[in-house]
Amino acid sequence: MTDLPRNQHIIASGLIAAVGISIAYISFTQEPADAFIFPRLISSVFAVLAIWTFVKALLGRTKVGNGISGVAMRNMLPGLIVAIIYVYWAAKALGFYTATAIAFFILLSLYDPSPHSEMKSWVKRILITAGFMAVMYGLFAQLLNVFTPREIFF
């Protein structure tokens, strides 16, 4: 029912089938066997269903899932890159509050519809970022006493 290229479904279901087969292989070859009884049960069903999905994708019979359009991919890519850097590197390396403030401001700048040419838009973004950081600090550092990794600047 979808017009999107079959290739996307083939790649996605192929990856899932590969994961399913790998899990089944590990479950049936790892020791001690008693610890893998339940994973064997699950991974067998997992692998069968994943292969079924893959074969359906190969035959072009995938009925659900609209995939990702080029426009959606182009729109999400900058935000996705910022989010990945923030989650997997910056939060630990720069400290939670520093990294969150930077990521928050960049995401606002990337996706906020207000025109970049107006000074007012930038002031608004800085104020929203500062307000959000104040709330986060109040909630997590003061209220919940969460000890986050050491900040790079303070």
Partner 1 sequence: MDFLFYMGDVFTPINFGLLLLGTIGGLILGATPGLSPTMAVALLIPFTFQLEPQQGLILLGAAYTSTVAGGAVSAILLKIPGAPANIATTLDGHTMATKGEGAKALQLSFIASAIGGLFGVFLLIFLTPVLAQWALAFGPSHLFWLAILGVTVIGTLDSSSVVKGLLSGCIGLWLATIGFDDIMGAQRFIFHPAVSGGINVIPALIGLFAIPQVITMFTKGRSSDDAEVISVQKHPIRLAFVEVFKRKTALAIGTITGSIIGLIPGVGGQIAGLVAYDQSKKFSKESEKFGTGHSEGVIAAESANNAMVGPSLVPLLTLSIPGSPTAAVLLGGLLIHGIFPGPDLFMNYPQVAWTFIDSMLIGQILMCIFGLYIAGLAASVARVPHAVMAAIVLGLAVFGSYSVQNSMGDVYVMGTLGLAMYFLERFGFSAAPLVLGLILGPIAEANFIQGSMIANATVGTGTYFFTGWLNWLLIIIVLASIGYSVWMEVMARRYTTKEEAVAKEEALS
Binding mask 57-86 for partner 1 (x = CB under 8 A): -----xxxxxxx--xx-xxx-xxx--xx-x
Cβ-based nearer residue to partner 1, 2 or 151: 2
Q: What is the CA radius of gyration of the chain?
A: 23
Instruction: Label residues 37-56 b or e (16+ Cβ within 10 Å = b).
Output: eebeeebeebbeebbebbee
The answer to whether the beta carbons of residues 79 and 107 sit under 8 Å apart is yes
Q: Is 95 in the site for partner 1 (CB under 8 A)?
A: no
| Residue 94 interacting with partner 1 (CB under 8 A) | no
Site string for partner 1, 133-152 (x = CB under 8 A): ---x--xx---xxxxxx---
Q: Does 102 bind partner 1 (CB under 8 A)?
A: no
